Structure 1
């Protein structure tokens, strides 16, 4: 039997609406087959049917309007109120403290805690600052990343304290974070950290001296030096 019309999905011919049993194709979500309903014949749509608030005609061609008296179920309002209600301060504080301690955990756990603390934003800063001394090197580096993403001025004193850390990477990351936050009062402290770094004579492949120098440049704390004349 000859088929008329254009080719449908998956190369199957599209037959007339009165003869088509429906198009069978695989369901990507559930992995089983479903039958697409037959195409309906074109119905005449009155001009007034498109001027309704919904703009979609009903099956009979009449304008589709919402029946009077139909309202949102009260249970939906209760669910929305439950989701939007703020959590108690004590519950939120304990949750943030737990996330701060997770910054020192495994890589996946630390990454998840970092992302959630960034989402909490400024409300998490004081808890991170308080818990910073109890974190190890990995946790402090992750906390610096949170400080840089949140960009809260209250991070400044904590970052200045990290300039005296025993870990070179923490000192460097703290210096670059101070530059990103544009903490102008940290210029003299960065100069002192840079002099202390040079006195320790780091290996040539260490990036701490260049990182602190970059922070000083960003804050306008470096002065041009001309080489002595021969």
Structure 2
């Protein structure tokens, strides 16, 4: 039988809209939702999460980034680039250093 929390976790994959409500409900549940979330992770990430819990290693500030990267590499998470960052492109400066310019400055019609 699926628990309420497990049902919410399953709704996170729904792109039709209920995922936002499910996310809000899971946030309200708080730390008690973590086991159901961990069970829904892809196997390599789930094993890493459980190993960290067994070692009683506290999470550090870089852990969320590492988990997002692992999920992206496994194809379970799409990378997100903020719109302002997406507009930037690298260019070589006069001194050979790499700089970033806003593409909309070059092409005002965009």
TM range, smaller chain: 0.3 to 0.5
Highest CA radius of gyration, 1 or 2? 1
Q: TM-score normalized by structure 1?
A: 0.24
- Determine which structure has the larger strand proportion and give its number: 2
Q: TM-score normalized by structure 2?
A: 0.43
